[in-house]
Amino acid sequence: MFSPLTHPRPAATIEISTAADVLIAQRRARVLAEQLGFARRAQWEFATAVSEAATNILCHASGGAIEFDADDERVEFTAIDTGAGIADLDRALVDGVSLGSALERGSLGCGMGAIARLMDGVTVETSACRGTIVRAYKRRHATARTFRSSCPR
Amino acid sequence: MSEAILNLEQRLTALEDSLAEAAAGRYHELQPEADDPLAAIELGVNLLTSALSKQIKRVEEVNTELDLRVAERTAELEQQLAERTRQTELIRRQQEAIQELSTPVLQLWDRVIAMPIIGVLDTRRSVEITQKLLDAVANDNARFAILDITGVEVVDTATASHLLQMVRATGLLGATCILTGVQPVVAQTLVSIGVDLDEMLIRRNLQTALRTCLLEMTRVGEEI
């Protein structure tokens, strides 16, 4: 896990329980990135990654929340859910794998992969009993991307 | 008995009456007619019945007040419940209205329909929109259905997947789906994600989509 941000701006938390919450999270993400002076494309990439995470919460878990945090260099979100955890994290990252519940059947199943591609760094902590925490950040000036995961079982 | 008791029968009846009255919560004072042992009992009974009737009256008052308060509170709660029910109903109807208004089916041309999609395309909405789309295709015998996503700010993989399903379902009814209104920044993001929309027919806007429809219908010799 990367270290906590040193000069955090006022953080925001959005509970995710309906589709409307996903919309709110998307918009909040985009506005936050815009306020921080991110390029237009980066704003949308951040908002889309947040949307993926929020949609995952909606489809795979009973409930959860998206938290935002930012400093001068980067913007990050943390998606926390109380779902069943991701059984095989490495597989979940392969596009087209996650079938999810009947609700989401037929999705492209590349939500996690998409987050990894849209953001500069992603960490995933998942466990069967505690749910999943996805934390991802995006730098104002993109550099090489990192991906790390842990799966304590 | 050393002393004679005056009007014994009458006074006993009066005592009995006084006790009966007291039981009903009323105080009926006995007037001792003579200074004899019965007079002491009569005075004692007076004391007891007066105290008892006062107690009974107080209990009755408290009961009445409680009844009143219970009734008031019940009425208040019933009113609140009614208000809550009314609001819930209002919200439900507004949600229905929003749902209905947010996914209109536009008859753009003979056998060409268009559906502007606004906001987020979650599973539930996607199912509803697909149903509406298929109904419209079947009922209007539409050849082309144009899905316009100008009003969808963020397209993630789930949205893309729902769109793909709509396109496939429409295709099964023999109609062709055309996607329009993909914002440049959305297009860039879809490329970043790696979402493949190759199987979709995409046009820049409604105008060019409609032109495609008309050209195609002309080509196959359909009347337009």
Per-residue pLDDT band at A82 (split at 50, 70, 90): confident
CB contact under 8 A, A111 and B158: yes
Closest partner residue to B120 (CB to CB) among A19, A110, A117 is A19
In this model, does residue A73 exceed pLDDT 60?
yes
Give Cβ neighbours of residue B105 (< 8 Å, ≥ 6 apart): B113, B114, B115, B132, B133, B136
Closest partner residue to B154 (CB to CB) among A51, A58, A109 is A51
| pLDDT score recorded for residue B4 | 75
Alpha carbon of residue B76 to chain centroid: 19
Count CB pairs under 8 A between chains A and B. 86
| Average pLDDT for B196-223 | 88
CB contact under 8 A, B122 and A45: no
DSSP characters for B12-60? HHHHHHHHHHHHTT--------SSSHHHHHHHHHHHHHHHHHHHHHHHH
| Average pLDDT for A104-130 | 74
Per-residue pLDDT band at A76 (split at 50, 70, 90): very high
Interface with B, mutate which of A107, A118, A122, A145 (most B CBs under 10 A): A107
CB-based burial label for A129 (10 Å; 0-12, 13-18, 19+): exposed
| pLDDT score recorded for residue B82 | 96
**Residue B28 to residue B17: CA distance in whole angstroms:** 8
Which residue has tokens 């042992």?
B37
Closest partner residue to A23 (CB to CB) among B120, B123, B194 is B120
Alpha carbon of residue B92 to chain centroid: 7
Closest of B182, B101, B104, B167 to residue B136, by C-alpha: B104
Interface of B with A in 168-187 (CB under 8 A): 185-186
Q: What is the pLDDT of residues B127-136, one digit of tens each?
A: 888 898 899 8
* Across A100-109, B141-150, B159-168, B175-184, least confident range: A100-109
Closest partner residue to A45 (CB to CB) among B158, B162, B192 is B192
Per-residue pLDDT band at A50 (split at 50, 70, 90): very high
pLDDT more than 70, % of chain B: 98
| Average pLDDT for A8-26 | 80
| pLDDT score recorded for residue A8 | 46
**Residue A3 to residue B100: CA distance in whole angstroms:** 47
CB-based burial label for B104 (10 Å; 0-12, 13-18, 19+): exposed
**Residue A75 to residue A54: CA distance in whole angstroms:** 16
Cα of A107 to nearest chain B Cα, Å? 5
Q: Which domains does chain A have, with CATH numbers?
A: 13-139 (3.30.565.10)
In this model, does residue B78 exceed pLDDT 50?
yes
* Across A7-11, B19-23, B140-144, B203-207, least confident range: A7-11
Q: What is the pLDDT of residues B152-168, one digit of tens each?
A: 889 988 888 889 888 99
Q: What ipTM goes with this model?
A: 0.71
In this model, does residue A100 exceed pLDDT 50?
no
CB contact under 8 A, A114 and B125: no
Cα of B154 to nearest chain A Cα, Å? 6
Q: Please indicate if any CB of chain A lies within 8 Å of the CB of B91.
A: no
Q: What is the pLDDT of residues B164-186, one digit of tens each?
A: 888 999 999 989 999 999 999 99
Closest partner residue to B119 (CB to CB) among A23, A30, A108 is A23
Q: What is the pLDDT of residues B106-124, one digit of tens each?
A: 889 989 999 998 888 877 7
Cα of A32 to nearest chain B Cα, Å? 15
Per the model's pLDDT, the better-predicted residue between A71 and B67 turns out to be B67
> DSSP class of residue A143?
-
